[in-house]
Structure formats: structure tokens, C-alpha cells
Amino acid sequence: MSQTQKLKNLCLRDTHLTDIALYNFSGSSLEMLDVSNTKISSTAVAHIARRNPGLKCLEARGCRNLHQQEKTEGARFSSSCMCSELITELGRTCILEEIAIGWGFAYSSLEVLSSAVTSLRAIAVGLGGSLGEGALKLLPTLCPLLESLILQFQVISDCIIANIMKSQKHLQVVALCYCFGDISMSSFRFSVPNLRKLRLERVTPWMTNNDLFTLTQNCVNIIEISLVGCMLLDAGAQQIISFGWPGLISLRLEDCGEVTANGVCSLSNCIALEELLLRHNGPGICKNFILDAASKMPMLRQISLDLCDASEGDFDIPDLYNRCFLSTVKIARCKSQKCALSLQQVQEARGRPVHKETLVLAWSSRHLARTVVKERL
């Protein structure tokens, strides 16, 4: 780290990184820093920001040590917040274009960062962060150039989402995942022609085929869509998707009612698909579906299925010569019995399958590699 004076991009995500490593970093030309899911503290990140005023991208989701508590009189702790030193340093020194944050990030943090986010193009707030409605209301004003908005485990509402969708003219990516609040179709009842990627995961359980049709009419240029937990959808959703978004390159449907209860027919019209995930949408997928999809979708590279949806209990696996351009196939298998772990019992009680293992098949130009990944929730 001490020999990297001219480094511009530094990715240390998912490592055992500690503060000592960042304090040893001697560079001053850094533009991108990714310390996601590490043990780094806010003080160490502030040190980097102070020495690298050209920092444009900071990714620090999953960093619990960024989260601090301030002591009050009597040695008690007040509400949690991100270290003011880091936020102040970022606001004073940097002009950010991308930020991904979680633990400790709050409404007050965004206020302090106001001068640093005027050119912000992408923001992602995950577990441990809490923007709140106040900060979300400010986004269109503070970040007029925003292109990507990813919110996970946040409290949101119809009026806030509608305001963002209407006012953020450059918005191309929206992801609302495992958020809380009252969201309805009114958030999407107007045209958003620039939107290209949309993820609605466990936030729209009320979505029907009619709602999905409205979505295709208002967001006509979608090329990547992920719908999870839309239990009211049925087989008609396939035709709505294929005619509404024929240029899709990525489609994910999971826990979406009876979408595949009668098999998969209309989705073959999405001939540009490169990635397809169908899981827990009804046990109607035929045994030769993988081979059939690969032959009808010439761009298809990755497909993910679940044995729960197999009409004959299994899927045929392509060989090296009939897989077309497939490079990865993932087939999950769910547990048949409840586990001892309380978390898994709660999930099963809610009707959400718990994956026991996933078979991953990866082809190279010469051979097939098989790997079994255990316990994917």
C-alpha cells in the first residue's frame, strides 16, 4: 500500500482490511475507493478523503465500523450516526459522482454533504443507513444529475417515489429492495422514458397483470427488470413482459405467483435476453427448457432455475456441443424439511422456500465445471 502513489482505483471489497492498511496508503490521486464489507473505520476513510481531493466514487456498504455512537452525559449513548469527521471531510474536500453507503448514514449526513453531491450520478443506501423521507425529498434538489438510485431496507412512501421518478429527468436505474412503507402503483403511473433498469424486490406484493401492463406502457425502454415477491401475477404476465419489453437483456422473476405454472411460452419472444432467472413461479417448466431456451434465445449466457418449478422434477443439462452460447446454468434445490435455525423457520412459516443447495454449471471452450453451493437463503 505504501508503494502505490499514483493509483487511481482501489478496490478492497470483501477483504480483511483494517485501518492500518489505509493509513499506509501514500497515494494522492485516488478517484475510486471500494471498502465494502470490511472492518474499516470512518476515521481511516476520512484520512483517505483528506489526502485525495479528487475522490469521485466511494463504496462502503456493509462496513459496520463506520457506524458510531456518541456519548452523552452519564456515559449513555445517543442515537447512532456516521462519524462527523468523515462526512465533514467528504463535504469539504470531494466532489462525488457515486456513493454507496450503509451503516451510520442518515438524513443529517446528506445535509452536510450537500456541496459534495451536486454532481452525484449514483447513490446506493443499504442496511444500516437511514435516509428517511426528509433526505429523499431533498434528492431532486441536491442531486439534479442523478442517474442511479438504489434503496435497500429503507422507509419509503408513494409520494416520495413519485416525486423522484417525475423530477429526476436523468434517472436510468431504480432499485427498491426490501423497503418498508406504503408503495402503490401510483408511484409508476407516469412516463419515465429514460429508465433502463428496474428492480422491485419484496416491495410490490400487490402487483397484478394489469399493474405490470401499466408499467410496460410507462417505462417503455426497460432492458433489465427484476420482480421478486409479486404473488398476484399469473401466466399472462409472460406475454405482457415479452410484448412490452421485447429488448430485455436481463429478466428475473422470483416468487411471482403462477407465472410459470403452465410452462414458459411467451418469454422466448425476448430474443435479446442474456440473463434469465425463474424461481418459485409455479411448477410448469418442462424438462428440456434449458436446451429450448438456449436455442430460441441466441444471446442467452446465464440461466437460473429451481427444481421446485420443474414439471417433471428435473431439468436436462446441455452438453458442450448443444448448449449454444450458454456459459452458466444454476439450478437450486430447496429443503424438504424445516431446519432447526429460528430464522429459517420464520422464512418457511412465511411461505418462502429455503434453498438447500445450488448446482452451478460453468462451461469454458473445452470443458464443463460443476460446483455445488450449499445453503443459499
Q: What is the 3-state secondary structure (H, E, C) of the chain?
A: CCCCCCCCEEECCCCCCCHHHHHHCCCCCCCEEECCCCCCCHHHHHHHHHHCCCCCEEECCCCHHHEEEEECCCCCEEEEEECHHHHHHHHHHCCCCEEEECCCCEHHHHHHCHHHCCCCCEEEECCCCECHHHHHHHHHHHCCCCCEEEEECCECCHHHHHHHHHHCCCCCEEEEECCECCCCHHHHCCCCCCCCEEEEECCCCCCCHHHHHHHHHHCCCCCEEEEECCCCCCCHHHHHHHHHCCCCCEEEEECCCCCCCCCCCHHHHCCCCCEEEEECCCCCECCCHHHHHHHHCCCCCEEEEEHHHECCCCCCCCCCCCCCCCCEEEEEEECCCCCCCHHHHHHHHCCCCCEEEEEEEEECCCCEEEEEEECCC
What's the structural domain count of the chain?
2
Asked if 33 and 149 sit in the same domain, the reply is no
Tell me: do 112 and 186 sit in the same domain. no
Residue 256 has a pLDDT of 96
Q: What pLDDT is attached to residue 138?
A: 85
Considering the entire predicted model, what is its pTM?
A: 0.86
Looking at 172, 187, 206, the residue that finishes a domain is 206
pLDDT given for residue 78 in this prediction: 39
Say what the pLDDT of residue 351 is. 55
Residues 21, 101 within the same domain: yes
Instruction: State residue 263's pLDDT score.
Output: 92
The residues of the chain scoring below 70 in pLDDT are 2, 68-84, 336-353, 375-377
76, part of any domain: yes
Instruction: Report the pLDDT value the prediction gives residue 376, as an integer from 0 to 100.
Output: 55
| Same domain? 193 vs 94 | no
Q: Is residue 300 part of a domain?
A: no
Question: Which domain range does residue 41 map to?
Answer: 1-124
Instruction: Please identify, among 124, 158, 192, the residue that sits at the C-terminal boundary of a domain.
Output: 124
Q: Is residue 174 part of a domain?
A: yes
Does one domain contain both 109 and 162?
no
**pLDDT of res. 336:** 57
12 within domain boundaries: yes
Tell whether 194 is covered by a domain.
Answer: yes
